[in-house]
């Protein structure tokens, strides 16, 4: 009788572990099947690539945020960073600056903003949330100054301008999907299969222990902010290329979905730890939900409610894994 009881408990715990660890993957597959039956157009190759294309920028930004969360810090300014980078790209092209130098300047701008964030957080000691909220306000103010608070565009763009954001390859694959795939592979390799990645997890897990084994904590945290700054700059170039315009208010389109994806990623696969594979899985789940809701004609507010529910659910689950320590979920995984 006791053996039967122990076996039942063991099976129950195994089922709970599978549900928690692979719940995001399972939910994505279930919803994909359901929406495919509800709307036959959902499962077409064109719609699948469109589905990924819709969250490519969100996914890249979420991967950058994941790197920062792994080292136990936070960044709320990444979407504003991408916004001002997109405005700068259009503003430079309007001044007839060549395309390649424009994109290099844009990426460097994103890197610089990430670097400035790291200085105040790592070397001065300002809490990351406070520092990056302040940076976000500064960036958005500059973005509105450059654009005069309006959407800016250019009467003409140089050849190759669409290659980052809206060019279609092989008749079906959007260029931003390709960039998202490349960055996903690179980030998974960096964070999961290199010494740098292991050191980043060590710093986020226990900073004091990391110091004792000889890890340069400041250097690792600096690298995390450089990564998110670089990816924000890349996204700024992609946004400018995709829309052919710089919009000072586009930041809201990417910020919250990216945050939701990064936190949901901590639920998936690593059971409480932010990780790039989990983040990408969460991004795809968000895309499936949003695309499916559009296809069935759901009101726009349902999409916003869904993101809020996913955010609360993911933080609650991670908090339970962290023994109720909500602060560790918010700032230090």
Q: Would you state the structure tokens that stand for residue 324, as one six-digit string?
A: 């109720």
pLDDT of residue 26: 79
**Do 28 and 288 meet the contact criterion of CB atoms below 8 Å apart?**
yes
**Do 24 and 283 meet the contact criterion of CB atoms below 8 Å apart?**
no
pLDDT of residue 320: 64
pLDDT of residue 5: 59
pLDDT of residue 319: 63
**Do 53 and 206 meet the contact criterion of CB atoms below 8 Å apart?**
no
What is the rounded average pLDDT of the residues 164-179? 91
Distance CA 15, CA 30 (A): 17
What is the rounded average pLDDT of the residues 74-88? 96
Domain limits of the chain? 55-258
**Single pTM value for the model:** 0.89
Percent of the chain with pLDDT over 90: 54
pLDDT tens, 230-269? 999 999 999 999 999 999 999 888 999 999 899 888 776 6
Which of 31-35, 159-163, 187-191 bottoms out in mean pLDDT, i.e. has the lowest?
Answer: 31-35
In the predicted model, is pLDDT for residue 330 greater than 60?
Answer: no
Distance CA 279, CA 101 (A): 32
Q: What is the mean pLDDT of the chain?
A: 86
- Burial code of 301-314, b = ≥16 C-beta within 10 A, e = fewer? eebeebbeebbeeb
In eight-state DSSP terms, residue 270 is S
Question: What residues does 227 pair with on adjacent strands?
Answer: none
What is the rounded average pLDDT of the residues 199-217? 91
Split at pLDDT 50, 70, 90, the class of 17 is low
DSSP 103-131: HHHHHHHHHHHHHHHHIIIIII---HHHH
**In the block, residue with structure tokens 């997890």:** 201
Better pLDDT: 123 or 90: 90
Better pLDDT: 207 or 325: 207
In the predicted model, is pLDDT for residue 33 greater than 90?
Answer: no
Closest CA to 155 of 101, 90, 98: 90
Q: Please calculate the CA angle 260-65-77 and round it to the nearest 5 degrees.
A: 95
Which of 13-17, 204-208, 301-305 bottoms out in mean pLDDT, i.e. has the lowest?
Answer: 13-17
**In the block, residue with structure tokens 């450089």:** 226
In eight-state DSSP terms, residue 95 is T
């Amino acid at each position: 009788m006791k053996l039967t009881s122990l076996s039942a408990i063991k099976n129950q715990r195994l089922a709970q572990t599978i549900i928690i660890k692979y719940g995001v993957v399972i939910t994505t597959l279930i919803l994909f099947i359901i929406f495919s039956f509800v709307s036959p157009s959902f499962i077409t190759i064109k719609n699948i690539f469109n589905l990924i294309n819709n969250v490519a920028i969100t996914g890249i930004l979420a991967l950058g945020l994941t790197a920062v969360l792994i080292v136990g810090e936070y960044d709320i300014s990444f979407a504003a960073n991408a916004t001002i980078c997109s405005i700068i790209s259009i503003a430079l092209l309007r001044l007839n600056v060549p395309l390649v130098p424009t994109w290099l300047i844009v990426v460097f701008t994103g890197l610089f903003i990430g670097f400035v964030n790291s200085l105040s957080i790592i070397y001065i000691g300002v809490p990351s949330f406070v520092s990056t909220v302040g940076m976000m306000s500064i960036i958005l103010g500059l973005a509105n100054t450059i654009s005069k608070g309006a959407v800016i565009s250019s009467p003409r763009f140089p050849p190759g301008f669409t290659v980052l954001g809206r060019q279609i390859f092989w008749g079906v694959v959007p260029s931003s999907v390709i960039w998202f795939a490349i960055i996903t592979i690179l980030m998974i390799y960096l964070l999961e299969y290199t010494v740098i990645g292991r050191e980043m997890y060590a710093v986020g897990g226990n900073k004091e222990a990391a110091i004792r084994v000889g890890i340069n904590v400041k250097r690792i945290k600096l690298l995390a902010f450089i990564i998110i700054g670089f990816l924000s700059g890349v996204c700024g170039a992609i946004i400018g290329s995709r829309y052919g315009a710089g919009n000072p208010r586009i930041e809201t389109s990417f910020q919250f979905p990216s945050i939701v994806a990064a936190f949901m990623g901590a639920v998936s696969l690593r059971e409480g730890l932010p990780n790039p594979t989990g983040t990408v899985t969460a991004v795809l789940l968000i895309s499936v939900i949003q695309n499916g809701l559009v296809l069935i004609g759901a009101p726009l507010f349902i999409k916003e409610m869904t993101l809020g529910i996913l955010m609360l659910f993911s933080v609650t689950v991670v908090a339970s894994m962290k023994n109720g320590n909500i602060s560790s979920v918010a700032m230090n995984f």
